[in-house]
Structure 1
Amino acid sequence: MIFLTIGTQEPFDRLVRTVDAWCASSGRGGDLFGQITERATYKPNHFAWVPSVTPEDFQTRCKQADFIVSHAGMGSIITALTYGKPIVILPRSAKLKEHRNDHQQATAKRLGKRPGLLVAQSEAELPGLLDKLTAEKGATGGEALTPFADPSLIAALRTFIHAKPR
């Protein structure tokens, strides 16, 4: 199963339209389920979708997914990484009035080299990444995040806290 999520705040018609076109051309619409918000203008024709899901349903769908397709929202990214699921992100663009600024572009640039996180810089790149993950059945996932901080971070914090004031 492929899970598409665009977050809960704003529609992301460019992403939904691109995924819908990919489903139509690839015949993979039966493998995809999407959450696209109530305010979405574009309504997909080639995959099942709902305007919203409960937090519990979101977690369940992420756990069950072979991979996730999303905007570059931190909630979606962290959830995918927590479950060790590959995620393809298409960052929203302020220039296209999809968001108020380009923080999602910065997120994609900063995290884009992480194993299991694939970045489509444009909607033209997205179908190729979806084909790749579909062929691999999501096998490009990275290691699941642990619920604990990296030991080097903990050591640095301990050093900082126990340092004598100057």
Structure 2
Amino acid sequence: MIFITLGSQKFQFNRILKKVDELIEKDIIKEEVFAQIGYSDYRPINYKYEDFLDREKFSKLMKSSTLVITHGGTGAIITAVKAGKKVIAVPRLSQYGEHVDDHQLQLLKQFDGMGIILPCYDIEELDKKIIEIERIKLNPYISNTQVILDDIEKYIES
């Protein structure tokens, strides 16, 4: 199953939802898709969706997914890679009223540099990215939380 999660910010992200509908219609996406669409006003035709999910349902969908398609938000990306999921991230862009600025472009470049996700900077290439992510090996996510805690402990002890 492909799980689409668009976060809870008060911005629409209709472009990604429409593109997934198109890819299902063209039989490029053949597996089940479920989307958490947030404040988007586009209503998917070819797959199930809900505006918002409670924590339990979100976790269940994340766990059962083979691929997560998400916006370029740090929380959504980290949640998916921590769950060991392959992630395609598409940045929200201000020119489409999807955010106030284009900071998600910079965030995706950082994540791309780590090799833990597959960014999709151009929504028209989402079909190619879906095929590509099946063939590539992404780096596992490694949390630096323990490193930070160890550094704090060393500081306190010194």
Query: What's the TM-score, normalizing by structure 2?
Result: 0.84
Q: How many residues in Structure 1 have an aligned counterpart in Structure 2?
A: 157
Over 3 Å counting, the alpha-carbon distance change for 1:131 and 1:105 in structure 2 is same
Partner Cα separation in structure 2 for residue 55 and residue 116 of structure 1:
24
Cα offset for 1:156?
4.8
CA distance in 2, matches of 1:26, 1:113: 31
Distance in 2 (alpha carbons) for counterparts of 1:143 and 1:113: 13
State the distance in 1 between where 2:118 and 2:108 align: 9
Q: Deviations over 1:50-97 (max 9, x none)?
A: 222112211121111101000011221111111111110000011222
1:143 maps to: 140
Normalized per residue, the structure richer in helix is 2
Question: How far apart, CA to CA, are the structure 1 residues paired with 2:67 and 2:31?
Answer: 14
Gaps (5+ residues) in structure 1?
A: none
**SS in structure 1 at match of 2:88:** strand
CA distance in 1, matches of 2:55, 2:114: 25
Seen in structure 2, the aligned counterparts of structure 1 residues 73 and 91 have a Cα distance that, compared at 3 Å, is: same
What is the one-letter code of the residue matched to 1:143? P
Provide the rounded CA distance (Å) in 1 between the counterparts of 2:109 and 2:116.
14
Counterpart code for 1:22: L
Return the TM-score normalized by structure 1: 0.81
Which one-letter code corresponds to 2:106 in the other structure? A
> What pairs up with 1:117-128 in 2 under 5 angstroms?
117-128=117-128
| 1:106 positional shift | 1.4
Q: Say whether 1:46 aligns with 2:46.
A: yes
Are residues 128 and 82 of structure 1, via their aligned partners in 2, closer, same or farther at CA, if it must alter by over 3 Å?
same
Aligned equivalents of 1:46, 1:126: Cα separation in 2: 17
- Corresponding residue SS for 2:26: helix
- One-letter identity of the residue aligned with 2:94: A
Instruction: Map 1:70-109 onto structure 2 (within 5 A).
Output: 70-109=70-109
How well do the aligned residues superpose, as a CA RMSD in angstroms?
2.4
CA distance in structure 1 between the aligned counterparts of 2:142 and 2:56, rounded to whole angstroms: 19
State the match for 2:19 in structure 1. Answer: 18
Percent identity between matched residues is 25
